[in-house]
Structure 1
Amino acid sequence: MDMEALYEMAKQKLNTRRTSRHGKIGHVAAALETAAGNIYTGVAMDLPSSIGFCAEHSAIAAMVTAGEQDIERIIAVYEDGSIMPPCGRCRELMNQVGENNYECEIGLPDRVMQLKDLLPERWDLKYL
């Protein structure tokens, strides 16, 4: 599957709404493809007291729950349809959840890059 198809899958999952305590959910959605060719999606939850998580985290959790860990490509979409680069926490999660994920493709607003280009100077190389 190409990045454009993943973009469309993520975009379909957008469903922005407010929570009862001034939180916002469903305003960012992510889709990822695994090395096995399976697709997982997820949405962000921005909640008070910093207890939410990113859309990428949600998609990765679905992947891990299904017994996979190797990401081939991933993309996140904001509620207005724009592509969002992954935050540092998401980049590190991708890196740590699967050994081959350092090579995965990340959809960015104007190009596709590998995680290794967005997360240089790995701190964990001495442990490999």
Structure 2
Amino acid sequence: MNKHELYKIAFSLINHKKLRKFGTSGHVGCALETTQGSVFTGICVDLPCSIGLCAEQSAIAEMVKNDETAINRIIAVYEDGSILSPCGRCREFIAQVDDLNIETRIMIPEMKEVLLKDLLPERWDSKWN
């Protein structure tokens, strides 16, 4: 699947909803393609007290639920259509799910792609790899 198709899937997930007091969801959508060619999606859930789930983590949970762990490409799209680089927590989350994911192609603004290993230099766990 090409990056433009993955973008369209992620953007189609946008459905901003108000949850309980101060909570929202669906203003970020994520689509990932596994190394086996499967596509999994997720949305963000933002709640007070920093409790929540990034769209990337939501999509990865769906992937793992379906017995896959290696990600070929991943993209997160904000409600205005812009591409979001994964936060530090998501970068680490992607890396820790599968050793192969250090080679995951991460979509960043302007439809550029970078490898996860370039976003996570000087790995804290390199001693054990």
What residue number does 2:123 align with? 122
User: Where has structure 1 moved over 4 Å in runs of 4 or more?
Assistant: none
What residue number does 2:90 align with? 90
Amino acid at match of 1:124: D
What residue number does 2:44 align with? 44
Q: Which runs of 5+ in 1 are unaligned?
A: none
Amino acid at match of 2:55: A
Q: Which runs of 5+ in 2 are unaligned?
A: none
What are the Cα deviations for residues 17-55 of structure 1, in whole angstroms up to 9, with x where unaligned? 111211110000000000000000000011012210100
What are the Cα deviations for residues 66-91 of structure 1, in whole angstroms up to 9, with x where unaligned? 01100000000001110000000000
Matches within 5 A, 1:1-128: 1-110=1-110, 111-128=112-129
Q: Which has the higher strand share?
A: 2
Query: Which secondary structure does the structure 1 equivalent of 2:109 belong to?
Result: coil
Q: Output the CA distance in 2 between the equivalents of 1:84 and 1:124.
A: 26
Amino acid at match of 2:122: E
Greater mean alpha carbon deviation, residues 70-79 or residues 48-57: 48-57
Amino acid at match of 2:46: D
- The two structures, once aligned, show a CA RMSD in angstroms of 0.7
Q: TM-score, normalised by structure 1?
A: 0.98
Amino acid at match of 1:47: L
Percent of aligned pairs sharing the same letter: 53
Q: Output the CA distance in 2 between the equivalents of 1:4 and 1:98.
A: 25
